[in-house]
Structure 1
Amino acid sequence: MFIKRFLYISALCATATAGMAQTKQPLVWPKVKAETRPWTRWWWMGSAVDQKNIGMLLKKYQQAGFGGVEVTPIYGAVGFENRYVDFLSPKWMEMLKYTSSTAAKLGMGMDMNTGTGWPFGGPQIKTAEAATKLIVQTYKLNPGEIVKEAIRVNDPKQQGIAVLQALVAYDEKGNATDLMSKVDAAGNLNMQPVTSKTEVYAAFAGKTLQKVKRAAPGGEGFTLDHLSKPATDVYLARFANAYKAGKPSVRAYFNDSYEVYGASWSPTMFEEFKKDHGYDLRLHIKELDSKEESETVGRVKSDYRETMSNMLLHNFTQNWTNWAHGLKSITKNQSHGSPGNLLDLYGTVDIPEIETFGSSKFAIPGIRRDSADIRNVDPNPIMLKFAPSAAHVNGKPLVSSETFTWLTEHFKTSYSQCKPEVEQLFLAGVNHVFYHGTTYSPKDVKFPGWLFYASMNMVPDNSLWSHAAGLNGYITRVQSVLQAGKADNEVLMYWPVYDAWSHPKGLEMTLAIHDIDDWLMPTKFYKNALELQKNGYSIDFASDLALSKSAGSKAGVKTSASALYKTLVVPECTLMPNETLQSILKLAQQGATVIFQKLPEGVPGLADLEARRVKQKQILAALKFTDAGSGVKQAIVGFGKVLLSGDLDDALNYASIPAEKLVESGLKFIRRDVNGSKYYYLVNHTAKAIDTRIPLNGKFASVTIMDPQNGAYGLAASSSAQNKTMARVQLQAGEAMILLAGLQAKAALPKWKYLEKATGEIELKNPWNLQFIQGGPVIPTAKKLDKLKSWTDLGDNDAVNFSGTGVYTSTFTVPAKKSGEYVLDLGQVDESARVWINGKEVGILWSIPFKTRVGSFLKTGENTIKVEVDNLMANRIRYMDQNKMEWRKYHEINFVNINYKPFDASNWTPMPSGLIGSVKIVKY
Structure 2
Amino acid sequence: MKKYLISIALLTLGMQAHASSRPWTFWYWMYGAVSKQAIKADLQAMKDVGLEGCYLMPIRGVGERPDYQGTAQQLTPTFWQMVDYAMEQSDSLQMQMGVHICDGFALAGGPWISPEESMQQVVWTDTIAHIDRRHSTFALPQAHPGHLGFYRDIAAFAVRVASPLPQPHEGGTIKRDEKGVFRAKTPGFIEFSFDAPQQVRSIHIVPSGNNVQAQRLRIEASTDGVTYQLVRQLTPPRQGWQNTDQNYTYSLPATTARYFRCYWTPVGTEPGSEDLDAAKWAPTLKIRDIRLGADAVIDQYEAKNGSVWRIATNNSPSTDFPEVVMLDKYGSPRHPLGNGIWRIVRFGHTATGHTNATAGGGKGLECDKFTQKTVEKQIDSWFGQFMKRPHSNVVRYMHIDSWECGSQNWSASFADEFQRRCGYDLLPFLPVYAGIPMPGDDRVLRDIRTTIDHLINDVFFATAARKARQYGVSLSSESVAPTMISDGLTHYRYVDFPMGEFWLNSPTHDKPNDMLDAISGAHVYGKTIVQAEGFTEIRGVWNETPAMIKPLLDRNLALGMNRLFFHVNTHNPWMDRRPGMTLDGIGLFFQRDQTWFREAKGMVDYITRCQEWLQRGVPVVDIAVFTGDEMPSRSLTPDRLVPMLPGLFGTDRIADEARRLANEGQPMEESPVGVRHSAGIIDLKNWVNALHGYCYDSMNPDGLQNGRFDYKALVVPQGSFVSDASKRRIAELESQGVRIIRTPYCQDTLDVIGPDALLPEGVAFNHRRDGNTEIYFLANQLDSARTMTISLRTTKGVPHIYYPIDGKQEQPVFRHSNGRTELMLTLSAYGSAFVIFTDESQGNAPETTLQHHVLTTAPWDIHFHNNGVSLQQQPLADWTASSNDSIRYYSGRATYTTNFKIKVKKGQRYYLSLPDVRDVAQIWVNETDCGIVWTSPYEVDITNAVHRGNNTLRIAVTNTWHNALRGADAGKAPFDGIWTNARYRTKGDSLLPAGLLAQPIIRITKATKQQ
> Shorter chain as normaliser: what TM range?
0.7 to 0.9
- 1:53 and 1:443 in contact (8 A); partners too: yes
Q: CA deviation at 1:166?
A: 3.2
The reply on whether 1:62 has 2:47 as its aligned counterpart is: yes
Pair 1:356 & 2:346 matched:
no
Query: Aligned in 2, Cα 1:523/1:305: closer, same or farther, shift over 3 Å?
Result: farther
The 3 A distance-change label for structure 1 pair 716 and 497 is: farther
Q: Which SS does the other structure have where 2:529 is aligned?
A: coil
User: Given the alignment of the two structures, is residue 171 of structure 1 paired with residue 160 of structure 2, yes or no?
Assistant: yes
Answering whether residue 196 of structure 2 is matched by residue 103 of structure 1, we say no
In structure 2, the residue matched to 1:223 is 366
Comparing 426-435 with 542-551, greater Cα deviation is found at: 542-551
Counterpart pick for 2:844 among 731, 737, 751: 751
Paired with 1:468 and 1:671, the residues of 2 have a C-alpha distance of: 27
- Written as runs of structure 1 = structure 2, the 5 A alignment for 1:552-591 is 557=709, 564-589=710-735
Cα separation, 1, equivalents of 2:594 and 2:716: 48
Could you report, residue by residue, the CA deviation over 1:206-227 in whole angstroms, capped at 9, with x for unpaired residues? 222222222132x021122223
Structure 2 equivalent of residue 793 of structure 1 = 881
Cα shift at 1:834: 1.5
Q: CA deviation at 1:149?
A: 5.8
8 A Cα contact 1:813 1:863, kept in partner: yes
SS of the equivalent of 2:865 reads strand
Contact 1:168-1:282 within 8 A present in 2 as well = no
Give the superposed CA RMSD: 3.9
Matched, 1:440 2:533: no
Relative to the length of structure 1, the TM-score reads: 0.77
1:346 aligned residue: 492
User: In the alignment, is residue 405 of structure 1 matched against residue 536 of structure 2?
Assistant: yes
Asked whether 1:716 is paired with 2:716, we answer: no
Q: Secondary structure at the match of 2:534?
A: strand
8 Å contact from structure 1 (residues 44, 73) kept in 2? yes
Equivalent residues of 2:859, 2:898 under 8 A apart? yes
Q: Cα distance 1:723–1:770, how it changes in 2: closer, same or farther (>3 A)?
A: same
Partner of residue 461, structure 1: 593
Instruction: State the one-letter code of the partner of 2:615.
Output: Q
Asked whether the equivalents of residues 146 and 191 of structure 1 are also in contact (C-alpha less than 8 Å), the reply is no
What does residue range 258-273 of structure 1 map to in structure 2 within 5 Å? 258-261=403-406, 263-273=408-418
Q: How many Å apart are 1:296 and its aligned residue? A: 7.2
The one-character-per-residue Cα deviations of 1:630-684 (angstroms, maximum 9, x if unpaired) are xxxxxxxxxxxxxxx631757x7332x2212333464211122121111111100
Mapped to 2, the partners of 1:881 and 1:111 lie a distance apart of 37
Q: Deviations over 1:869-896 (max 9, x none)?
A: 1111122233334449999999xxxx56
Q: Deviation of residue 545 (structure 1)?
A: 0.9
Residue 476 of structure 2 aligns with an amino acid whose one-letter code is: K
Aligned residue in 1 for 2:829? 733
Cα distance in 1 for residues equivalent to 2:387 and 2:945:
56
Distance in 1 separating the partners of 2:90 and 2:537: 28
- Structure 1 residue 845, shift from structure 2 partner: 1.0
Alignment pair present for 1:232 and 2:217: no
The one-letter amino acid of 1:67's match is E
Matched, 1:420 2:511: no
Q: 1:857 to 1:543 in 2, by over 3 A?
A: same
Q: Find the partner of 2:27 among 3, 17, 42.
A: 42
Residue ranges of structure 1 left out of the alignment (5+ in a row)? 1-8, 11-21, 360-373, 502-508, 552-556, 558-563, 599-644, 898-902
Q: Give the alignment partner of residue 763 of structure 1, picking from 854, 864, 868.
A: 854
Distance 1:837 1:177, change over 3 A: same
Q: 2:99 aligns with which of 112, 130, 154?
A: 112
Partner of 2:994: 913
Structure 1 pair 233/76, CA: closer, same or farther in 2 (3 Å)?
closer
In the TM superposition, residue 201 of structure 1 has moved relative to its aligned partner by 3.5
Question: In proportion to residue count, which structure has more strand?
Answer: 2
1:146 to 1:844, Cα distance in 2 relative to 1, 3 A: farther
2:691 matches 1:534: yes
Q: Give the conservation status (yes or no) of the 8 Å contact 2:932–2:940.
A: no
2:293 aligned partner: none
**Pairing 1:204–2:194 present:** no
Separation in structure 1 between the aligned mates of residue 337 and residue 859 of structure 2, nearest angstrom: 96
Contact 2:101 2:107 in 1 (8 A): no
Quote the Cα distance in structure 1 between the aligned partners of 2:905 and 2:539.
Answer: 43
Which position in structure 2 is the counterpart of 1:827?
915
Alignment partner of 1:213 is 2:306: no
Q: Is the 8 A contact 1:201 1:285 kept in 2?
A: no
**Aligned CA distance change for structure 1 residues 132 and 765 (closer, same or farther; 3 Å):** farther
Q: TM-score, normalised by structure 2?
A: 0.71
What CA distance in whole angstroms lies between the structure 2 residues aligned with 1:568 and 1:288? 35
Distance (Å, rounded) in 2 between the aligned partners of 1:190 and 1:183: 10
Residue 141 (structure 2) aligns with: 151
| Paired amino acid for 2:487 | N
Provide the aligned length of Structure 1 versus Structure 2.
Answer: 793
Greater CA drift, 474-483 or 434-443:
434-443
- The answer to whether the aligner puts 1:672 opposite 2:761 as a matched pair is no
- Give the corresponding residue for 1:601: none
Q: CA deviation at 1:410?
A: 4.2
In structure 2, the partner of 1:135 is 123
Distance 2:863 2:325 in 1: 80
Q: Which residue of 2 aligns with 1:805?
A: 893
Give the equivalent residue in structure 1 for 2:110: 122
Say whether 1:653 aligns with 2:753. no
Query: What SS class does the counterpart of residue 112 from structure 1 fall into?
Result: strand
Deviation by residue 1:356-412 (Cα, 9 ceiling, x = unmatched) = 1243xxxxxxxxxxxxxx5544453x6522212211222222211111100762433
**Structure 2: how far apart are the matches of 1:581 and 1:150?**
46
Matched letter for residue 621 of structure 2: N
CA distance in 2, matches of 1:320, 1:707: 40
Instruction: Tell me if 1:328 matches 2:416.
Output: no
Q: Show CA shifts across 1:250-301 (max 9, x none).
A: 2110111211135444343333333333444444455444499x99776554
Counterpart in the other structure of 2:930: 842
Identity rate, percent:
21
CA distance in 2, matches of 1:706, 1:171: 74
Which residue of the other structure, out of 861, 873, 876, is the alignment partner of 2:961?
873
- Compute the displacement of 1:41 (Å): 0.8
Q: Which runs of 5+ in 2 are unaligned?
A: 162-319, 650-686, 1006-1011
Deviations 1:312-369 (A, max 9, x none): 111211111111111111110012433211110123211111011243xxxxxxxxxx
CA distance in 1, matches of 2:613, 2:143: 58
Q: Quick one: distance in 2 between partners of 1:295 and 1:685? A: 55
SS of 1:71's partner is strand
Match of 2:677 in 1: none
Counterpart amino acid of residue 877 in structure 2? L
Query: Contact between 1:176 and 1:283, CA under 8 Å: does it hold in 2?
Result: no
Q: 1:814 to 1:355 in 2, by over 3 A?
A: same
3-state SS of paired residue (1:466): coil
Determine whether 1:451 maps to 2:577.
no
Q: Secondary structure at the match of 1:654?
A: coil
